[in-house]
Amino acid sequence: MVTNGGNADVARVLGEIETLKAAKSDIESRISALEAQLRETNVTSPKTTPFLSLTSPESSKWKCVLNIEALRE
């Protein structure tokens, strides 16, 4: 049997879940915008060699490459 206090707990938990989902959506949107900005920066600045590049091969492992020559320029 659920008491009135139990209903309040359920409502509180559901409210917190909705708040967290909204925050998650906002964070994912911000990440997408920043990734697009980073891609645009890499496309529009071909003369600049990045010091550090991150690539994701077909596997789930990321590869990080430090370009020492670019640091010397």
Predicted TM-score of the model (pTM): 0.48
Phi/psi of residue 65, nearest 5 degrees: -125, 125
Phi/psi of residue 55, nearest 5 degrees: -130, 150
H or E, element range at 53 = strand 52-55
Is residue 10 predicted with pLDDT exceeding 80? yes
The pLDDT confidence band at residue 52, using thresholds 50, 70 and 90, is low
Is residue 43 predicted with pLDDT exceeding 70? no
Distance in angstroms (rounded) separating the CA atoms of residues 13 and 3: 15
The pLDDT confidence band at residue 27, using thresholds 50, 70 and 90, is very high
Q: How many residues does the chain have?
A: 73
